[in-house]
Structure 1
Amino acid sequence: MRFVLIVCAIGIHLSGFSGLDDADSLFRKKYIQDPAYIDDLTGKISFKLYTLNRTNSFTISDVGNNFESRYEPNVGSDLGLGVLYKWLKFGVSFARLGRNSPESTHGKTTRLDLQGHIFTKKVGADLSFRFYRGFYLSNPSSFNKDWKSGDKYPQRSDLRTVSIGASAYYVFNHEKFSLQSVYVQSEWQKKSAGSFFLGSSINTFAILADSAISPENFSNPSNQSKFFEEARMRSIAPLFGYSYTLVLSDHVFTNLTVSPGFALANTRLKEADGFLVYKKTNIIPRFGFRFGLGYNGPKFFGGFSAEYNYQEFKFNQGEGRFGHTRGQARVYIGYRFNW
């Protein structure tokens, strides 16, 4: 119950920022949304039921030897309920629908995954805190040629990851383009439109374990950084991308949002006794992706949406790579009431 209340409070607090759209503080003029392109539905109260499947995986690679270990959590889908009315937009997951794979073969993952999203008419923002414990190696055949489908996956119950992230961006063509229509459903995109957006993001990602978490083989075996048991990565990046909603018919739409780029990142590796064995700051690649497909009408609405973000951190003189993927996929159906 405590977890549910925390999520509700976060959702209500973040959604309150949508009230800032009444006036454009940058240009001191009344904000006008083109009604030929966007229908504002915030005056109706909406309820939606959704399933949510989250992703928080990572890879550790040895570039020189073309060697990669892939770690996945064994998580499943959650069932959630969302409410939309004027400035209030929030959703809370209240039931676990099981795991993606049996615990007997893939192990057990425990998690605390809190996420908040802001989609106003002109500004978008994302906040997240993720703690996961318990991973399995999803590519065991790369290590053991005798491994076959149906065998037990190698499991690391001691592996923990902590991920904290925040981003914000400004949508330039906000008079004709609506992110809320796709990812919140409080507006209705009537005609096809798109927009560039610009902002920034900051992220931190840590991997902790009770034993070595590096690959077993590295191009430079004398380097002590292959024996680390703790890895911490921090990054800051500009956000630049483009989002476009294609209206396929009066009620059916699809959206694609991409945000490629680079980040300034700091990587630190420590041994079990806490001794720092590697520390370096460099430029790394990053990529953000969102997709939506759905039906929007005066009363009924439904669809599918997904978002994923990827960053790749370097270590061991560039021979090592951490790849971190986080995201979620959602299927939803809802109904609007006149209020």
Structure 2
Amino acid sequence: MGLRNPRWNLNSPKILFYVLGLYCLCPISLQAQLIPKKDSTAIVSFADKFVFKLNIDTQTDTYLFQDRLGGPDFRLAPNNNYSLFLSLDYQFIGMSLGFSPTFFSGNKDDDLKGESSFTDFRFRAAIGQWVQGFQYAKIKGYYVENTGDYLPDWVEGQDPYIQLNNLSNTKFGMSTSYVFNPNFSFRNVLYQTEWQKKSAGSFIPTLFYSYDIFDVALENFESDERSVPIRLSLGYYYTLVINENWFIAPHIAPSLGVRFSWDTTILEGNTVKENNTYFTRNLEGGLQLGYASRRVIFGAGFVFDVNWYDENTTETIENNKIYALVYVGYRIKAPKFLTKAYRKIEEKLGLQEIIDNN
């Protein structure tokens, strides 16, 4: 990655990862049988309504570098303890905008941790049992969480952390998912554009692919890494419906992939270029508790997303996203002129049967 290359003892995560991988692979052949039509009593669609949602979470994009030979850890994190997402969904498309507002007290430690910026824009389309996602995300400004390992006289809460204000991470990402069980509502769990009224689960394989830019500029050092990570996630989601309105939704999704990297490093005027290919592993999962009705939706959850790869025989890089979230949303009827315009476009393009046949 151009900054520093470390190593983490991955024995426990690896064991968990491979066990879960085998767990997901075995039943897929059963799900691949002829799938019945969706039960209209199991899922209620609100595609014809505007769905507004507000989401607050504690998501941070942290990196862990560790050397197997015994060197100190190198832990990077942005100064964004809270993020706010606003989303709008209508029919089969939706979008959301995420940012890190300064009115949250946890985002105001600029004197100690430096200034960070966060932008996350997502667009999605759900057609039949397919869900396609697009994402643009950028984080700029990181600090070294374990500054005390590098500055012996450093005092936590009093002295500033080592700051990398010009370090930025940009992602242009896409994902393609397929829901095997038509009686399971993926949209209820992720976007709340449907209402799951009967308990159900489904295997949902997802292909993630993106173009990432990771760069930093210091006084005598510059690094610019461009990479294309591709991975296949074999996820299983389940929604347990309680008294029709309340639900509990756990999920687990191990994945494997490759990461193609092109890195340019400039140190004191000397330029070094490297091209590498890495084998990546990822484990993502979580638990959500939610309430759904015809108009009001709200809930809370916990999510973990751990991605790691070996940069060489002695060094490993790990990217962690472990966070809690709360959300609240409201469904309102779309204006008649918009509904009519949408129906005309839908008829001309012949999308009606494809979109509704979930």
Query: What TM-score does the superposition give when structure 1 sets the normalisation length?
Result: 0.74
Aligned counterparts, 1:3-18, within 5 A: none
Selected match of 2:166 from 158, 164, 187? 158
Q: CA 1:59/1:110 → structure 2, altered by over 3 Å: closer, same or farther?
A: same
- Could you tell me which residue of structure 1 aligns to residue 22 of structure 2? none
Q: Is the 8 A contact 1:121 1:180 kept in 2?
A: no
1:58 maps to 63
Contact persistence 1:183–1:292 (CA under 8 A): no
Query: How do 1:19-30 and structure 2 match up within 5 A?
Result: none
1:323 pairs with 2:318 = yes
Regions of 4+ moved over 6 Å: none
Secondary structure at 2:243's aligned position in 1? coil
Matched, 1:47 2:52: yes
Per-residue CA deviation, residues 298-320 of structure 1 (Å, 9 max, x unaligned), is 222111256554332332x3222
Partner residue, 2:5: none
Question: 2:248 is paired with a residue of what secondary structure?
Answer: strand
Question: Counterpart amino acid of 1:240?
Answer: L
Cα deviation 1:241-289 (Å, max 9, x = unaligned): 2111122332111212222122122234432157335433232212233
What is the total number of aligned residue pairs between the two structures? 296
Report the Cα distance in structure 2 between the residues aligned to 1:186 and 1:242, rounded to whole angstroms. Answer: 20
Q: Distance in 2 between matches of 1:311 and 1:179?
A: 23
> How many angstroms apart in 2 are the aligned matches of 1:43 and 1:200?
28
Structure 2 residue aligned with 1:33: 38
C-alpha contact 1:300 1:336 (8 A) present in aligned 2: yes
Secondary structure of 1:51's match? Answer: strand
- 1:140 maps to a residue whose letter is T
Shift in Å, 1:79? 4.6
Distance 1:212 1:202 in 2: 33
SS across alignment from 2:61: strand
Of 318, 326, 335 in structure 1, the residue corresponding to residue 330 of structure 2 is 335
SS at match of 1:116: strand
Question: Are the structure 2 counterparts of residues 228 and 320 from structure 1 closer, same or farther at C-alpha, using a change threshold of 3 Å?
Answer: farther
Relative to 1, partners in 2 of residues 1:323 and 1:134: Cα closer, same or farther, differing over 3 Å? same
Distance change >3 Å, CA 121–CA 258, structure 1 → 2? farther
Answer yes or no: is 1:238 the counterpart of 2:245. Answer: no
1:40–1:87 Cα change, 3 Å: same
Give the gaps of 5 or more residues in structure 1.
1-28, 214-226
Q: CA deviation at 1:295?
A: 0.5
- CA deviation string 1:95-140 (max 9, x = no partner): 8244534111111012433223445551233322222221111122
Q: CA RMSD in A?
A: 3.2
Aligned to 2:293: 297
Write 1 or 2 for the structure with the bigger share of helix. Answer: 2
User: What is the alpha-carbon distance in structure 2 between the residues aligned to residue 79 and residue 133 of structure 1?
Assistant: 17
Secondary structure at the counterpart of residue 318 of structure 1: coil
- DSSP-derived class of the 2:107 partner: coil
**What is the DSSP-based 3-state SS (H/G/I as helix, E as strand, rest coil) of the residue aligned with 1:229?**
strand
Q: Which amino acid aligns with 1:143?
A: Y
TM-aligned CA deviation for residue 59 of structure 1: 2.3
Identify unmatched segments of 5+ residues in structure 2: 1-33, 335-358
